[in-house]
Amino acid sequence: MTASNEERPVWDAAFSEEARSEQLSEDSSAWRAVTGLLLLIISVGLTMALFTAWICS
């Protein structure tokens, strides 16, 4: 989801189109990395919980 140009005039005025494109690309990469890390943490926790439940039963 991207905002229209009316909603971010300062950002548009401060950076060139190339710089804005690079910033958005880096931001997307960072969000993918964070999301991947969180999914990994959840997966490991769920695996440990299931293993513990299996051992206790």
Q: What is the per-residue pLDDT for 5? A: 58
Reported confidence tier of residue 11, pLDDT bands at 50, 70, 90: confident
Q: Evaluate whether residue 1 is within a structural domain.
A: no
The pLDDT tens digits for 14-33 are: 888 898 889 899 999 999 99
Alpha-carbon span 18 to 53, nearest angstrom: 53
Q: Evaluate whether residue 4 is within a structural domain.
A: no
Domain that holds residue 26: 17-56
Q: Evaluate whether residue 2 is within a structural domain.
A: no
Number of domains in the chain: 1
Burial class of 30 by CB neighbour count within 10 A (0 to 12, 13 to 18, 19+): exposed
Q: Evaluate whether residue 24 is within a structural domain.
A: yes
Which three-class secondary structure string do you get for the chain? Answer: CCCCHHHCHHHHHHCCHHHHHHHHHHHHHHHHHHHHHHHHHHHHHHHHHHHHHHHHC
